[in-house]
Amino acid sequence: MAYELYYWDGIQGRGEFVRLALEEAQADYVDVARQSGPAMGTGAMLDLMKSKREPHIPFAPPFLKDGELIVSHVANILSYLGPKLGLAPEDEKLRCVANGLQLTITDLVAEVHDTHHPIATSLYYEDQKEAAKARSAAFISERIPKFLGYFEQVLQQNPEGPNHIVGDALSYVDLSLFQVIEGLRYAFPKAMKAYAADYPGLIALHDAVTGRPNITAYLQSDRRLAFNEDGIFRHYPELDLAP
Amino acid sequence: MAYELYYWDGIQGRGEFVRLALEEAQADYVDVARQSGPAMGTGAMLDLMKSKREPHIPFAPPFLKDGELIVSHVANILSYLGPKLGLAPEDEKLRCVANGLQLTITDLVAEVHDTHHPIATSLYYEDQKEAAKARSAAFISERIPKFLGYFEQVLQQNPEGPNHIVGDALSYVDLSLFQVIEGLRYAFPKAMKAYAADYPGLIALHDAVTGRPNITAYLQSDRRLAFNEDGIFRHYPELDLAP
């Protein structure tokens, strides 16, 4: 039975981290909110979230349905799917390390969201633009180097070599790091251009993922949505500064 | 060998979610940064984070060391410890549900942090007080009801009954929900007083956890630090509003 991925239609957002793993593994999946038909579409997703009968409703998209089981949160979905898709380390301890790295990516993604929504998710960007400028400036000067510097160090200290963030083979964490670089380059091109030389391992990993046949095919397909200003990574020129 | 918990000295913070599980289970553990002696104290924690030799350095505290393995992030630590401490469901699928719930708590805790630090972690609260007021107002009116309403619904829809958030026995997620209620009451007493009647299941769960012998003993011990204005849950009267 196909995996059912539930995520907001029209944006890459947090769902993209899951899509990349499913696409790399050529898994059978349905992107439910983007389909029409019975039990499909955004309405079906919202019905499931509001259900009074489901034993385990999710707080927010993305979530994955595998038969009766609903798995919520990106890191939890990837931790669940990783071994099934051949995208997690064999060793249980390294799986734990992979999950810790993915949760650091989760934190980074939440901070990216808050660069354009520092006050309230319910307000328009335009109504919190001044705070967004202040938060973005701090994000660019302090947080990008802290997060990317950390991932670069982990990559360089990987006992199996710097081609992968954990273990000796591609994992879902590598795919997520590709998306982090893609997203940061889209949102903050000036900042990322200035930082380009500082994270050679991460950039090499990003390029290696881009060149994988299943990923290349996915990026060229219409299943890959373009970045836009409704997603997590948004490009507002006034928030992008050279550090 | 004792578990080694690494977290900032002087605050409950994110480390408290791990402490509660270790204390409930009467596990053998060392709160490293709060001890003095060789390889103890905050210096030992920072050395480990900055290590050029460790294969898997953590991004931030809290992290747990179990022998050679370093496990980072609260939800990852609890997912790792839960089965060992008898504080996770037996069923693998329910463990996945527990992890999803814990990650929703993680998101809530990050939002609590940002009520007093909406612009930058590196700035003093006093230097972002106006943005903090706006963010706290939105947090109280929109986010507290969204999160607590969600947990209340999950509790009431638990097929095993509303005494536990998942499964038919106490889990680390129940302990974390206790801490969420404790923390919100400390930080936003006016708001939480106004919301008191809306979440009867959560309040009953909180009270049941408080009355567990190991938790009662812990709360009365000097291992339990008081809430303060260096932690995640901070009480600034100007941020606390009746919704």
Q: Is B37 left (phi over 0), alpha (psi -120 to 50) or beta?
A: left
Give B-chain residues touching A166 at CB under 8 angstroms.
56
- pLDDT value at position B3? 98
Indicate the class that CATH gives domain B92-224.
mainly alpha
- pLDDT value at position B1? 86
- pLDDT value at position B236? 97
Give B-chain residues touching A157 at CB under 8 angstroms.
52-55, 57
Residue A1 clears pLDDT 90, i.e. is over it: no
Distances (CA, A) of B19 to A91, B48, B100: 27, 20, 20
- pLDDT value at position A92? 96
**pLDDT (mean) for A203-215:** 98
Decide if B57 and A97 are in contact by the 8 Å CB cutoff: no
Beta bridge partners of B135: none
The shortest CB-CB distance from B103 to any of A76, A123, A150 is to A76
Confidence label for A168 from pLDDT (cuts 50, 70 and 90):
very high
Q: Say what the ipTM of the complex is.
A: 0.97
pLDDT in tens, A90-133: 999 999 999 999 999 999 999 999 999 999 999 999 999 999 99
Decide if A72 and B118 are in contact by the 8 Å CB cutoff: no
Indicate the class that CATH gives domain B3-85.
alpha beta
H-type alpha helices, chain A? 15-24, 41-50, 74-85, 92-116, 129-138, 144-157, 172-187, 189-195, 200-210, 213-220
Q: To the nearest whole percent, how much of chain B has pLDDT over 70?
A: 100
Smallest Cα distance from A136 to chain B, Å = 8
pLDDT in tens, B87-128: 999 999 999 999 999 999 999 999 999 999 999 999 999 999
Residue A66 clears pLDDT 90, i.e. is over it: yes
Is the CB of residue A78 less than 8 Å from the CB of residue A103? no
Residue B72 clears pLDDT 90, i.e. is over it: yes
- CATH label, A92-239, candidates 2.40.160.10, 1.10.10.60, 1.20.1050.10, 1.20.120.1630: 1.20.1050.10
| Token output for B129 | 């007080």
In the block, residue with structure tokens 């919100």: B184
- pLDDT value at position A100? 98
Calpha distance B100→B108 (Å, rounded): 13
Decide if A134 and B138 are in contact by the 8 Å CB cutoff: no
Give B-chain residues touching A69 at CB under 8 angstroms.
93, 96-97
Decide if B97 and A56 are in contact by the 8 Å CB cutoff: yes
User: Which residue in B93, B114, B119 has the most chain A C-beta atoms within 10 A of its own C-beta, making it the best mutation to test that interface?
Assistant: B119
- Determine whether B226 is exposed, middle or buried from the number of CB atoms within 10 Å of its CB (0-12, 13-18, 19+): exposed
Give B-chain residues touching A99 at CB under 8 angstroms.
73, 76, 79
User: Which residue in B3, B56, B104 has the most chain A C-beta atoms within 10 A of its own C-beta, making it the best mutation to test that interface?
Assistant: B56
Q: To the nearest whole percent, how much of chain A has pLDDT over 70?
A: 100
Smallest Cα distance from A233 to chain B, Å = 18
pLDDT in tens, A144-161: 999 999 999 999 999 999
User: Which residue in A6, A52, A54, A76 has the most chain B C-beta atoms within 10 A of its own C-beta, making it the best mutation to test that interface?
Assistant: A76
Domain ranges of chain B: 3-85, 92-224
- pLDDT value at position A180? 98
**pLDDT (mean) for B188-198:** 97
Decide if A56 and B154 are in contact by the 8 Å CB cutoff: yes
Nearest residue of B to residue A108, measured between CA atoms: B59
Q: List phi, psi (to 5°) of A95.
A: -65, -35
User: Which residue in A93, A160, A168, A171 has the most chain B C-beta atoms within 10 A of its own C-beta, making it the best mutation to test that interface?
Assistant: A93
Decide if A120 and B138 are in contact by the 8 Å CB cutoff: yes
Nearest residue of B to residue A60, measured between CA atoms: B104
Nearest residue of B to residue A56, measured between CA atoms: B154
The shortest CB-CB distance from A122 to any of B96, B121, B138 is to B138
Q: To the nearest whole percent, how much of chain A has pLDDT over 90?
A: 98
Smallest Cα distance from B221 to chain A, Å = 31
Q: Chain-wide mean pLDDT for chain B? A: 97
pLDDT in tens, A34-51: 999 999 999 999 999 999
The shortest CB-CB distance from A134 to any of B72, B119, B142 is to B119
- pLDDT value at position A233? 98
**pLDDT (mean) for A75-94:** 98
Decide if A54 and B80 are in contact by the 8 Å CB cutoff: no
Decide if B119 and A110 are in contact by the 8 Å CB cutoff: no
pLDDT in tens, B55-70: 999 999 999 999 999 9
First to last CA, chain A: 48
